[in-house]
Amino acid sequence: MNPNQIKETDLFGRFFLRAPNDGESSDYYRSLEAIRPLLKSKKWSESVTGYYINVTDNLDGVRLSYFTSSPEQPRKVVDHFTSEHELENIECPEIPRKTKDELRFRKYLVTYTQIGLDIMKADLFKARCLFATFRWQIMRARKPYKPYFIRAFET
């Protein structure tokens, strides 16, 4: 995903996806792994200019937020993927709309997500520790982010 293809005129939409409950409890990480093939697919990349992910309010799914210049395409791609992989749409997908997000912020969200996905794929436990410390200690104490991440990535 190239954050330089994102434009301020792109529309913003969201999907709320969850892995099927097949005897194990669904959680954010299972749901994230279930949609990873979607995020890597050519069809998804061609339908959006960028995306970022968050955990859903009930902590068992992925909120997939995206930017697009063709509002009907992401829905077609996700609908096809979810039917093939038996994923659940927890909520009705939002119709893409205009937002007033600053372009620089959009690029940050897309880049942050790509880094997080790479770290989680390499070592999920380390990634969870890294981000938990960041959220609950660094952000809460309003400490600068950069020194924390430089130390974490250099060790």
- pLDDT tens digits for range 1-52: 677 789 989 999 999 999 877 655 558 888 999 999 999 999 999 999 999 9
Task: Specify the number of domains making up the chain.
Answer: 2
Does one domain contain both 106 and 128? Answer: no
How does DSSP classify residue 138?
A: I
Tokens 């890597």, residue?
A: 40
pLDDT tens track for 45-79? 999 999 999 988 877 889 999 999 999 999 999 99
- Alpha carbon distance 154, 70 (integer Å): 40
How does DSSP classify residue 26?
A: P
Does one domain contain both 75 and 19? Answer: yes
Does one domain contain both 143 and 113? Answer: no
Does one domain contain both 24 and 70? Answer: yes
Does one domain contain both 78 and 39? Answer: yes
pTM flag (> 0.85):
no
- Domain hosting 112: range is 3-122
Does one domain contain both 62 and 135? Answer: no
Does one domain contain both 30 and 48? Answer: yes
In whole angstroms, how far apart are CA 128 and each of 17, 82, 101, 135? 20, 26, 28, 10
Does one domain contain both 97 and 145? Answer: no
Would you say 41 and 81 are in contact if contact means Cβ atoms under 8 Å apart? yes
